Amino acid sequence: MVPGAVEIPYSRLIQLVKEGKVESTVIGADEIHVTLKSRIEIDEDLKKLAEQQQPLFPLYRMEGLEPVTFKVSHLPGVEKTALVQQMLDAGVTISGDVENTFWNNLLFGWILPIAAMMLFWQLLMRRVSQNSSFTSPLTLGKNRAKIYSEKDIQVTFDDVAGVEEAKAELREIVDFLKQPARYQALGGRIPKGVLLVGPPGTGKTLLARAIAGEAKVPFFSISGSEFIEMFVGVGAARVRDLFEQAKQKAPCIIFIDELDAVGKSRLSSAAPFGRHDEQEQTLNQLLVEMDGFDPSKGVILLAATNRPEVLDPALLRAGRFDRRVVVDLPDVAGRLQILQVHARRVRLAPDVDLRTLSARTPGFSGADLVNLMNEAALLAVREGKEGVDQTSLDRAADRLMAGLERKSRVLSPRDRDIVAIHEIGHALVAMLSKHADPVHKVSIIPRSIGALGFTMQLPTEDRYLMTRSELEDKIAVLLGGRVAEEIIFREASTGAQDDLQKATRLARHMVCVYGMSHQLGPQAFADPQGSVYLKEGAPSINHRMEYSERTAQLIDDEVLKILGKVHQQVTETLTKNKEALEQLAHRLKERETLDGAELMQLLTEKTQKG
C-alpha cells in the first residue's frame, strides 16, 4: 500500500480516465493504484474522501502541486481488462503489478527494528558489566580479584625503599614460597596471614606486589569492599570462590587491600536479637577459609589496612593473621632512600641535594615524596629547564606543605606589615631559642590553603623524645608571631589563630599526657585514641572526665601557667631585639622570601643575644 493513497469507487476512476486527469497506474492482483497529473483541480468529493480516510493527508497534495495517488480495490477480472483498454486509449502509462508488501512491512517494520534494539541492549549491558560494578545474577558469586601471573609483576624489593624493617620481615615469606621444604623439614610452618599496618601512602600495596615479584608466584589482588554486595550471601560466595581459585594456582599470594571494609568488628554492630547481615556473613566465611586452608600448600594471605583498631578480634588471633608488620612513615634516612629510588625516573640537575630535601619533609609518606618529585618535574618543564634543579624541588615541597602560591591576592600595606612582623616573630624566636629547630625559610607570599605567610623550620634529626624545655621552646616559637604583633602594633590580629590552637594543645598535653605539672604530679588524664599498632598523632584528652571538677580546674590553671610563663619569656626576648625584629621584617617585605642562612647572617649583624 502506497502511503497516503485514498480509496475511490470504480465509477469515479472511469470518470477520471475519461477527463484525462490520470498520469499513470500500477495494476495489481486485487487493486489498482492511480496517480493523477499535477497542476489539476481536485474535486470536492475527492477532498472529502481524503479527509475521511487519511486525516493526516497533506493539504498541499490535494491542491495539485504534485501528483496524487488513489486506489480502487476488488476489481473483477473482466472489468479490469476493459479498464486497461480505456487507459491505453487515453494515453495513460501502465507500469505493472502492485507488489504484495505484507512480508516486507513485517520484516522491515517490526522484526529488524526489534532485533536491532535487542542487540544494542545486549552490547550496552556487556560494556557496563566490563567497565563498572554491574554484574549479572549468574556471576554474582564469582570473585572479582585481579589475577597477575609471575610474568606480569616486575616489582621487587629493590623498588621499595624506606621500610627496611618491614622488608626484612617479609623476606621470610619469599624464602618460604621459593623453598618450602627447608621449613617443612624442621616442622615449621609459615604464618597463614600477614597483616600490613600503616598510614596511607606508606607502600603497603607495593610491598605485597614486591613479595609476589620476588617469589615469582601468581598474585590475587582484591579490595575488601569488592566482597560486599546488596544481596546477602554474595560476599561469602566470593570468598569461597577466591580461595578455591588460589588453591588451584598454588603457590600464590592473596592480597586483600583495605581489610577493614570487610573485617570490621562484629561487636560494634551487634543487635539485641543478633544480626547476620551481608558484611557479617562475609567476615564469617573469611574466618572459616583461613582456618581451612593449609599454608604448606603455598597459599599466603596478605592484607593491608590503616585502621587496625576496628578489625574483629577473631581475625587477629593466632592461627589467622599470625604476623603483623608495621609499615610506618619513613624517617629521614628512609625518605632519602625513597627519593633516590624515584629520582631514577627524573633528570636531575647537578646542584640537587636530596639529603636536604629529605630533612625538610618530615611526616611525608612514600606517596607524598613521589608526588613531590612529579610536581618538581612538571614545574621544571613549565619553566623550560633542562633538568629538575634544587629550586624546583624546594618550590614543589613548599606547594605540598603550604599550598599553591597566590600572588594574585594583593594584601593592603597594613596587612603586609602585620604578616611580615608576625612571620619574623616566629623566625626570630626560633633562632634565639636553645632547643628550637633551625629556620629554613620565611615567606609572606599568600598560599591557597588560606595562609598569608609561613615560617618553615628544618629539623636536624628525627626526634622521638622531647624534654620539658624543648616543648616550651616549641610553644615559644608558636607564640612568637602574636607577641611580635603586640610589641610593634600594641594589639594582636586574628592571624595567630592556628598558632594559639597548637600552643594550647601542646601545653595541655604537657599537663594531661606527659605529667609535666609540678602541681598535679606524674598523672595522666588522657585517653589514647590512636591505633593499637601505629603511633599516629598524639593521644586525645579524655572527654569522659574520670577526675573531679577540682582536678579539672587545676589542669586549666596549669595550662594557663605554662602559656603565661612562655608568653612572658617571648615578650622579653622580642622586646630586647625589637630593632632587629623591625629591620628583618622590612627586609622580608622587600624580598617576600628569606632563607635561613640569610636570616642568620642579618641577625648576627643586628641583634644581641640575651
Q: pLDDT per residue over 562-599, tens digit each?
A: 999 999 999 999 999 888 889 888 888 888 888 888 88
pLDDT given at position 41: 62
CATH code of 6-98, in short, is 3.30.720.210
User: Parallel, antiparallel, or unpaired: how do β-strands 31-36 and 22-27 relate?
Assistant: antiparallel
Closest CA to 516 of 476, 564, 546, 561: 561
Altogether, the residues listed in the chain come to a count of 610
List, as residue ranges, the binding site for Zn(2+). 422, 426, 499
pLDDT given at position 501: 93
Closest CA to 251 of 172, 319, 193, 176: 176
For residue 197, the SS3 value is strand
Could you check whether the bond before residue 251 is cis, i.e. omega within 30 degrees of 0?
yes
Pick out the chain residues at pLDDT < 70: 1-5, 28-30, 38-47, 49-81, 96-106, 108-109, 127-145, 148, 150, 229-233, 267-276, 293-296, 407-408, 448-450, 460, 527-545, 606-610
**Cβ neighbours for 26, distance < 8 A, ≥ 6 positions apart:** 32, 33, 94, 95, 96, 97, 98
- Ranges in the chain annotated CATH 3.30.720.210: 6-98
Distances in Å between the Cα of 289 and the Cα atoms of 176, 236, 292, 313, 541 are: 21, 10, 5, 16, 41
Q: What is the distance between the alpha carbons of residues 184 and 169, in angstroms, rounded to a whole number? A: 19
Residue 260 identity: D
List, as residue ranges, the binding site for ATP. 198-205
pLDDT given at position 529: 54
* Tens digits of residue pLDDT in 73-115: 655 555 666 777 777 777 777 776 545 555 666 676 678 888 8
- Ranges in the chain annotated CATH 1.20.58.760: 413-606
DSSP category for residue 388: B
pLDDT given at position 143: 54
- Ranges in the chain annotated CATH 3.40.50.300: 146-326
Catalytic machinery residues? 423
**Cβ neighbours for 13, distance < 8 A, ≥ 6 positions apart:** 32, 34, 70, 72, 83
DSSP string, 430-457: HHH-SSSPPEEEEE---BTTS-S-EEEE
The architecture CATH gives domain 332-402: Orthogonal Bundle (1.10)
Q: Where are the alpha helices (DSSP H) in 293-365?
A: 313-316, 332-342, 354-359
CATH code of 413-606, in short, is 1.20.58.760
pLDDT given at position 592: 84
Superfamily grouping for domain 146-326:
P-loop containing nucleotide triphosphate hydrolases (3.40.50.300)
pLDDT given at position 87: 75
For residue 162, the SS3 value is coil
List, as residue ranges, the binding site. 198-205, 422, 426, 499
